[in-house]
Amino acid sequence: MRGLSRAFAAVFLASVAVNSPVMADGGFSGKSSPLCLVPVQNGLPIKKDLYQAFRMISKVVVVPGLDRPIIFPRNRGGVWTIDDTGSFVPFGGDFPNHYGDEYASDTSNGDVIGVSDKLGVFRLRRGEKEFQRIYAADGKPFVRPFSAVYVARFGGTVISDNSGLYLLKSSGEVENLPWDKSVAAGGPGRVFGLPELNLLLFTDYGHAYLRDDSGKITVFDEGFNGIQAARVTAKKEIFIQPTSNDNFTVPWPPTDPTRLPAHQGTSTYENFEGITVYVGDIVAIHGRKVSIDLPFRTDYPPPMEFPVGDILVKPAENGIYTLNSEDKWDFVDRSGEMAVRRSPPNAFHLPAENKALLINGSQGLHMLVLKTDERAAGCLK
């Protein structure tokens, strides 16, 4: 089974699971989870959502330093958030408001930087509630800013633009960063930070490049479909989550200088959050080794860590489960109501300050919180 692609295996096992018990090995504890579901105020679908809850959320962006999520719905338009009262409300303010916009956190001063290829560069100061545009996409200097990552060793945010590569300093000043077009003629593309290796990773038009701090550019890969995420592992390897196909890790420096680094990668079942999953079987959770069947033996959607305590959350097609200290699955009360036609409810990360996960299921928006949380008084009973 491990030779199957993850996407095919997940679909295959999901089809088998429909007529299978939840867990054949007794992995269900029969106990209630320490988490519960609190309805989000204004969290029911409206006419603009076609009265379908799944249309309320198509993407949730969590930016470190920003205590509210940035939520893009499918149909109703605008940008939304969960405010400090637990309500689903418009985000408000003049700021990047397109699905593909990117954000970066300046950890030196708490600013959040947003880039929009149509609108320009925006900033939200620590403690403020709204973004302000600080540079328009008018060629002075930005033409089409579309990707950003904060780089502490540079003292600012690196921004990719159609016209080149820039550094937005924490002071607000902008300077050009060298980009060698003789190696990468197409421009910088989307940028990812690899601070442990003092590298930046860029991907654009089927090519990927690594840039060191001296400005030297190395071809990392070519002829592929893109990269969703990248980071450095504990072994100082480069972890890549592609747009398609399996995740993989690449040794750095590469062992064979005559081959493209990405072609020397090794497939991994680890996801970006560091949870390793074989099809239907967790084998590592942030270094803690376990071997246990997943509910309904499917790895999609992947399990995710709850932001408080050592709790793992797994949405399944009949509800939501949490893994307890005995490596058994507890069931979240009334979470079966969230499933839609044997489809798992969607779970999204929220900022750490929220101490919750956001759930989008058949009954609208809910937050998954600890039963000891003061918000638990409003939990579904």
Per-residue pLDDT tens for 213-241? 999 999 999 988 889 999 999 999 999 99
Report pLDDT for 19.
Answer: 30
* Rounded Cα gap, residues 312 and 291, in angstroms: 14
- The candidate with the shortest Cα–Cα distance to 202, out of 260, 80, 210, 355, is 210
Instruction: Provide the edge-to-edge strand list for the sheet that holds 281-285.
Output: 275-278, 281-285, 288-293
User: How far, CA to CA in Å, does 73 sit from each of 142, 250, 312, 358?
Assistant: 28, 36, 26, 14
Supply the pLDDT for residue 343: 84
At 207, is the secondary structure helix, strand, or coil?
Answer: strand
**β-strand 102-106 against 227-232: which pairing, if any?**
unpaired
Query: Exposure pattern of 141-159 as b/e (b: 16+ CB <10 Å)?
Result: bbebbbbbbbbeebebbbb
- Separation CA 217–CA 137 (nearest Å): 26
Residue ranges in the chain whose pLDDT is less than 70: 1-26, 95-97, 99
Residue 288 pLDDT:
79
Average pLDDT taken over every residue of the chain: 88
- Report helix, strand or coil for 295: helix
Two tokens, residue 178: 């060298």
Across 75-94, b (16+ Cβ under 10 Å) vs e yields ebeebbbbbeebebeebeee
Contact between residue 57 and residue 365 where contact means Cβ atoms under 8 Å apart: yes
pLDDT, position 297:
74
Give the per-residue pLDDT at 325: 87
Q: Which two tokens stand for residue 165?
A: 């590569």
- pLDDT tens digits for range 252-311: 999 999 999 999 999 999 989 888 888 788 888 877 788 888 887 777 888 999 999 889
DSSP state of 95: S
